[in-house]
């Protein structure tokens, strides 16, 4: 019996750290988002926002934002977007998600 070939998806080279993405939501409040997110996070976002169910789209946007930041950054971000003092609109949250996706997709990838 011939030996079965196994395809390895393990990277042979260590990837360089990706610079975080910084953005400002309200004056004086800047946030750091991860320079990249896992493929699973992106697929879940696409699945949640591809249909006509606005509730699923909203959940997808918030889940993507949460997965985009470490706990400390997201905690501050979440407090601001829920604050009656700032009244952050849905359109602004969508713009932030679009910006993060654009920044992540325009960064060079490491050749395998």
14 inside domain: no
Q: 2 or 68, which is more confident?
A: 68
17 inside domain: no
Q: Cβ contacts of residue 111 below 8 Å, gap of 6+?
A: none
92 inside domain: yes
DSSP letters along 4-19, please? PP------SSPPPPPP
Instruction: Provide φ and ψ at 80, rounded to 5°.
Output: -70, -45
Mind listing the pLDDT tens digit for each residue in 63-112? 999 999 999 999 999 999 999 999 999 999 999 999 999 999 986 554 44
Q: Give the mean pLDDT of the chain.
A: 90
94 inside domain: yes
Residue-range definition of the domain harbouring residue 50: 26-105
Average of pLDDT values for 3-9? 87
Q: CA-to-CA distance for 87 and 85, rounded, in angstroms? A: 6
Number of domains in the chain: 1
Q: For residue 73, what are its two tokens?
A: 């950054």
Q: For residue 39, what are its two tokens?
A: 């493929």
64 inside domain: yes
Q: Give percent above pLDDT 90 in the chain.
A: 78
42 inside domain: yes
10 inside domain: no
């Amino acid at each position: 019996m011939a030996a079965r070939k196994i395809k390895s998806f393990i990277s042979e080279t260590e990837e360089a750290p990706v610079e975080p993405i910084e953005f400002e939501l309200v004056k004086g409040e800047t946030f750091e988002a991860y320079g990249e997110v896992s493929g699973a996070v992106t697929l879940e976002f696409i699945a949640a926002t591809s249909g006509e169910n606005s509730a699923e789209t909203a959940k997808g946007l918030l889940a993507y934002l949460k997965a985009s930041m470490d706990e400390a950054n997201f905690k501050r971000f979440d407090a601001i977007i829920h604050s009656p003092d700032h009244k952050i609109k849905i359109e602004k949250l969508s713009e932030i998600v679009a910006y993060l996706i654009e920044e992540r997709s325009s960064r060079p990838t490491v050749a395998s």
